[in-house]
Amino acid sequence: MMNRKKLVVFVAIIIAFIIGLGFISKGSIFTKSFNKIENQNHNIYFKYNLISHKIKPKFLGEPEAMIAIDAKNGQIVYAHNENKPEKIASLSKLMTLYLVIQKAQKNHAWNQIVNTTNPNLVRMSHSYDLGGFDFKQNHKYTVKELYKAALIRSSNNAAIALGEWVAGSNKKFINMMNQQAKIWGLKAHFVSSSGLENSDLKHYGYNQVGNDNDGNEVSAKDIGKIAVYILKAYPSIVDDSIQAVTYDGDQTIYNENGLLPGKEFYDPSLGVDGLKTGYTDSAGLCFVGTGKVKGKDRLVTVTLNDDDEFSNTIKLMKFVYKNSTLYK
C-alpha cells in the first residue's frame, strides 16, 4: 500500500515538473504574444503594386532614393532607387530600438537602470552636435527614458548605451544588428547603433574596423522593411514618436520631425505620427515617415539623401493616396 502511494506521488511530481517546463518554455502571455508577432514578421511578403509609371510626382531637388509601403500588407506602391545601399544616419536607430524593445518587452525591463557612466559616452552626451541627451552625474536613467531620448531626440549616446544594455558590449550589439538584418533577408551593413560614422565615433572609442568613411548602409527598401517590422511588433511606438516635445528623465527633449502636429510642415490630412529623422554630412537628410488616415491602411515612406525631406514626404504621401489603387 505504501509503495503504491509513493508511486502516485512520484508520478504526480513528474507530471508537475513536465508542466512546469512547458510553462517556462512558453513564457509569459506577453512573451508568447511578442513571439507570435515575430513569426508574423517573417510572413510579411513585400511585393510590388506600383502606381503607373505614366504618373510621376514632382519632388523638390533630387532625393537619392525613395519608397512608399503599405504597412499592413507590405505592398510597395512607389519606388525610386529603392535597392541601392545608402548611408542612413539616425534611421539606424530603428533597428537599435527594435532590439531594445524586444528585450524590454520580453523581460518586463522598461524600468531597469542602464549604465550611463562610461566617460566617453558622458563626454559624447555633452556634445551639441553628437549627443542629444545629457548623461548627468549621479543621475540614473531607465531603459524607457533612453528609448524615448533615442527615438524622439535621436540621441546618439542614448542609442549606444541601450545597445550595450541589450548585448553587454557595443561590438556584440552591432553583431546583433547585422544578424537581425540577415534573419530578415536584408542587405544591410551596420557599424554603429547610433548611425554615426567612424569619423565621429573614433573620438569616443566606438569606431569599428574600417576607414573613417565607414557607416551604416541600407537601401530605402530595407529600411522601409525595418520600419514596418517595428510598427508590427510595437504599434504603440507612434504614441511616443508623435510627441513634439516631452519631458524625459530630468530634461526636455524636442522632436525634429517637422510633420507632427504643431510643427512647420504639419498637414492634418496625412495623419503623420512618426517615425524617425536622420542626418550626417555624408548621408544627407533622411526620413522615415508614417501616417494613418481614417479608413485606410498605415503608410510608411522613406527618403534618403534628400534636400527637403519633409516637403518631399508630403508630396509622396499625397501622390500615393491620390493614385494608388490600395488607397482608393
- Catalytic residue, chosen from 87, 90, 125, 241, is 90
Tell me the CA distances in angstroms from 213 to 48, 171, 194, 195, 269, one per residue in order: 33, 18, 15, 12, 40
- The answer to whether 87 and 169 have CB atoms below 8 angstroms apart is no
Residues 6+ apart with CB under 8 A from 265: 258, 259, 310, 311, 314
- Catalytic residue, chosen from 92, 144, 148, 154, is 154
3-state secondary structure 221-257: HHHHHHHHHHHHHCCCHHHHHCCCEEEECCEEEECCC
- Catalytic residue, chosen from 87, 92, 93, 194, is 93
Looking at residue 7, its amino acid is L
- The answer to whether 215 and 110 have CB atoms below 8 angstroms apart is no
324 is catalytic: no
Cell 542626418: give the residue: 279
> Alpha-carbon distance 299 to 150, whole Å?
22
Q: Is 136 annotated as a binding residue?
A: no
Looking at residue 4, its amino acid is R
194 is catalytic: no
Cell 493614385: give the residue: 323
> Alpha-carbon distance 89 to 23, whole Å?
42
The residue count of the chain comes to 328
154 is catalytic: yes
- Binding residue ranges for substrate: 276
- Binding residue ranges: 276
Query: Which residues have a catalytic role annotated?
Result: 90, 93, 154
